[in-house]
Amino acid sequence: MTLTSVQTAPFMDQKPGTSGLRKKTRVFMEDHYLENFVQAIFEGIGGVKGKTLVVGGDGRFYNDRATEIIVRMAAANGAAKVVAGQNGLLSTPAASHLIRSLKTDGGIILSASHNPGGIDEDFGIKFNMPNGGPAPENVTNAIFEVTKSITSYKMYQGGTVDLGAVGYSALGDMQVEIVDPVTAYVDLMQSLFDFAAIKKMISEGTDIRFDAMNAITGPYASAIIEDLLGAQKGSVVHGTPLPDFGGMHPDPNPTWAHELMDEMMGEAAPAFGCASDGDGDRNMIVGPKCYVSPSDSLAVIAANATVAPGYAQGLKGVARSMPTSAAVDRVADALGLECYETPTGWKFFGNLMDDGRVSLCGEESFGTGSDHVREKDGVWAVLMWLNIMAHTGKSVPELMQDHWAKFGRNYYSRHDFEAIESDKADAMIANLRSKLSDLSGQSFEDLVVETADDYSYLDPVDGSTSAHQGVRVVFKGGARFVVRLSGTGTSGATLRLYVEKLDLKNFDQDPQTALADVIAVAHKIVQIEQFSGRSTPDVIT
Residues that bind ligand VG1 (CB under 6 A): 18-19, 113-114, 277, 281-282, 321, 344-346, 363, 365, 367, 486-488, 496
What is the smallest separation between the CB atom of 364 and ligand VG1, expressed in angstroms? 7
End-to-end CA distance of the chain: 52
Q: Which does 345 bind (CB under 5 to 8 A by kind): ligand VG1, Co ion, none?
A: ligand VG1
What is the smallest separation between the CB atom of 407 and ligand VG1, expressed in angstroms? 23
- Per-position x/- string for 262-291, each x denoting binding to Co ion as judged by CB under 5 A, each - no binding: ---------------x-x-xx---------
Calpha distance 88→60 (Å, rounded): 10
Give the nearest residue (CB) to ligand VG1. 113
113 is catalytic: yes
Q: Give kind and range of the element (H or E) at residue 450.
A: strand 447-454
Nearest to 376, CA basis, from 161, 114, 55: 114
Contact between 58 and Co ion (CB under 5 A)? Answer: no
Cβ closest to ligand VG1, residue 35 vs residue 377: 377
What's 404-438 look like in SS3?
Answer: HHHHCEEEEEEEEEEEECHHHHHHHHHHHHHHHHH
What is the smallest separation between the CB atom of 225 and ligand VG1, expressed in angstroms? 21
Catalytic residue among 113, 235, 295, 297: 113
Q: Which does 67 bind (CB under 5 to 8 A by kind): ligand VG1, Co ion, none?
A: none
Calpha distance 199→311 (Å, rounded): 19
Cβ closest to ligand VG1, residue 198 vs residue 328: 328
User: Mutual orientation of helices 92-101 and 183-192 as an angle, nearest 10°?
Assistant: 90
- Per-position x/- string for 102-141, each x denoting binding to Co ion as judged by CB under 5 A, each - no binding: -----------x----------------------------
Calpha distance 414→503 (Å, rounded): 18
Cβ closest to ligand VG1, residue 486 vs residue 532: 486
Cβ closest to ligand VG1, residue 253 vs residue 344: 344
Cβ closest to ligand VG1, residue 52 vs residue 413: 413
251: helix, coil or strand? coil
What is the smallest separation between the CB atom of 126 and ligand VG1, expressed in angstroms? 8
Calpha distance 481→464 (Å, rounded): 26
What is the smallest separation between the CB atom of 114 and ligand VG1, expressed in angstroms? 5
Residue 35 and residue 69 in contact, taking contact as beta carbons nearer than 8 Å: yes
Calpha distance 398→322 (Å, rounded): 28
Q: How many CB atoms lie within 10 A of CB 439?
A: 17
Tell me 306's DSSP state: G
What is the smallest separation between the CB atom of 195 and Co ion, expressed in angstroms? 25
Beta bridge partners of 84: 55, 178
Calpha distance 63→87 (Å, rounded): 9
What is the smallest separation between the CB atom of 414 and ligand VG1, expressed in angstroms? 8
Nearest to 126, CA basis, from 22, 48, 282, 237: 22
Q: Which does 18 bind (CB under 5 to 8 A by kind): Co ion, ligand VG1, none?
A: ligand VG1
Q: Which does 344 bind (CB under 5 to 8 A by kind): Co ion, ligand VG1, none?
A: ligand VG1
What is the smallest separation between the CB atom of 113 and Co ion, expressed in angstroms? 3
Residues between 448 and 507 with contacts to Co ion, criterion CB under 5 A: none
Q: Which does 365 bind (CB under 5 to 8 A by kind): ligand VG1, Co ion, none?
A: ligand VG1
What is the smallest separation between the CB atom of 280 and ligand VG1, expressed in angstroms? 9
Cβ closest to Co ion, residue 77 vs residue 113: 113
AA letter at 333: D
Cβ closest to ligand VG1, residue 51 vs residue 114: 114
Cβ closest to ligand VG1, residue 100 vs residue 126: 126
Residue 280 neighbours by CB under 8 Å, 6+ apart? 58, 91, 92, 93, 94, 215, 216, 217, 220, 377, 378, 379
Burial of residue 336, with CB atoms counted within 10 A of its CB: 0-12 exposed, 13-18 middle, 19 or more buried: exposed
Residue 188 neighbours by CB under 8 Å, 6+ apart? 97, 101, 372, 373
What is the smallest separation between the CB atom of 278 and Co ion, expressed in angstroms? 6
Strand positions, DSSP E, 79-188 = 81-89, 107-110, 122-128, 152-157, 167-171, 174-179
Please give the size of the binding site for Co ion, defined by CB under 5 A: 5
94: helix, coil or strand? helix
Cβ closest to ligand VG1, residue 290 vs residue 358: 358
HSE-CB for 488 with a 13 A CA cutoff: 19
Q: Which does 488 bind (CB under 5 to 8 A by kind): Co ion, ligand VG1, none?
A: ligand VG1
Cβ closest to Co ion, residue 238 vs residue 282: 282
Give the nearest residue (CB) to Co ion. 113
Residue 528 neighbours by CB under 8 Å, 6+ apart? 417, 428, 495, 497, 522, 534, 535
Q: How many CB atoms lie within 10 A of CB 504?
A: 10
Active site residues: 113
Binding site for Co ion (CB under 5 A): 113, 277, 279, 281-282
